[in-house]
Structure 1
Amino acid sequence: MEKSIVLYLHYHPPLAWHALISFFCSRGSFRVEQLMANRYLRTIQLDDHTGWVAARQDTEHNQIVVEVSPSLSPYLSCLQRRLHTLFDLDAEPAIIEAHLKNDKTLRQLIANNSGLRVPRTLDAFELSLRAILGQQVTVKAATTLYSRFVTAFGKPVETPFPGLDRTAPVADAIANAKLQTIIDLGLTQRRALTIHQLAQKIREGALDLEQENRTEILRQLLELPGIGPWTAQYIAMRALGDPNAIPESDLGLMRALQLKNPMEVRRRTEKWQPWRAYGAIYLWHHLT
């Protein structure tokens, strides 16, 4: 067996590594990503190449050490960028947290768990799919639905880790499927149609989730039936890299802030700008 390749990804300390990878694995499929001790295991598909990564934190050198399967060697530069994004390694906690500590609710949460990151994504469509599946259901229900999509549309991949054997679904695979196939995974026709239309628009090039114009992406997303402000802001937060995005209608945020409606959340979080996404992460972590 070929020896794995090792990447070293540096970050600005502190980094709450276990909280970050636990967030991923509590919302994903065991066949795509796993938590093994303090390592994050994940399958990868880049173009037609599949493989895996195994990442761990090196606190002494403020870096994430990532083992990469040899099958992904043609994509190391691309993979390194995507992993930086996934783990939100460019964030500067000292700056972000100094600002958010002006809020009395966040002050204590930050003191208890300094270094939380916004859990990002390797692929914007994958995250968008998860966001749609998570609409108005529990995390457990959304995870069950996502696991069905992985089984139906993911690619088989060989890894040295038991059970880690399938990639996340890509837009093309879902765009090429029949609508009824998606419904049969346990979705309503409306939600299945939202996912199908999103995948088709990406496949056709009518929607590019990787472009830099976040405002335009959000406009196009909100034009799709079945995507409202919560879904769009969640996608902006985790897939588009908007540090100021916040899903104001999120029930967890309202509960954590002891507020009754999205308008109150908007007013309460105005002073968090431009770091509202990080404030949301601290509140969600508090609720777990």
Structure 2
Amino acid sequence: VLFPGNKGETRYFIPTIQALVARHGSELKDLVVVADAGILSAANCAALEDLGLYFIVGSKSSSARQDLLQALPKDQVPSEFMDGQIFETTRVMTHQRQEAVRRVVYQYREKRAARDRKVLADLRDYALKVQSQPSRLAKAKFVTVTGKTTRFNESLYDQAVARVGLKGYVTNLPESFPGSEIVAWYADLFQIERSFRMAKSDLAGRPFHHYTANAIQAHLVIVFTALAVARYLQTATGTSIKQILKDLKPLCDVTIEIAGTQQTLPSHIPEEFRHYLKTEPGH
């Protein structure tokens, strides 16, 4: 199913899952839907649960301290975390006046914390630099405007620093599934992201030269068919998609016409590339 690119993905998330359930029904028993934080809402979580599905949805780190304070006594909330540390809390999410207590798993990663600190430092430097320039304040974070007065919001910045390295996951999976599994399953989302990056770059997925709906759809069908074959070859051979494309791109059959007769000359396939063909049934 293809959706307009100028519409937000949140509009099509639940309808797509509903269509999947309608088509496959009982085959989807115990299916776990994994989605990033852009999809997190009480309505979406309730809709997935109504469909009889489990879910793991990313949670913005801005909720981390609040969740911890609600779940733990203030003196038990750690000021520092160990790399890889996982802890759990709950969060009340309300949809149509119905409250649901959701399980929330948090993990701290030092690598993520280092990246977050750098981003925050850059944002702080930018905010201090432009706080006296009204035309540039729209892009500045941590700047508070009161009338004609602007100031750097140190308190807001400190709150952001306090939650660096934390990533949350809201789920309805029972506690028999440990937090480490929740984190690991969510991490597999990078495979989807990597596929889409590959589709947009190496497989030239952006339909720059197509202007009608049918042409765009045909182009994307070809791209995603190529992506499916490429991912299959990657899994079967252990070779990256980028390397597979580099190896196979020069191999093209040539069709020539002589005296009204067409003849196709197959490309010579070097022996070192034949293992790609052997992964396909019938070759």
Max Rg structure:
2
TM normalised by structure 2 equals 0.24
TM normalised by structure 1 equals 0.23
Q: Which has the higher contact order (CA 8 A, sep 6+)?
A: 1
Write 1 or 2 for the structure with the bigger share of strand. Answer: 2
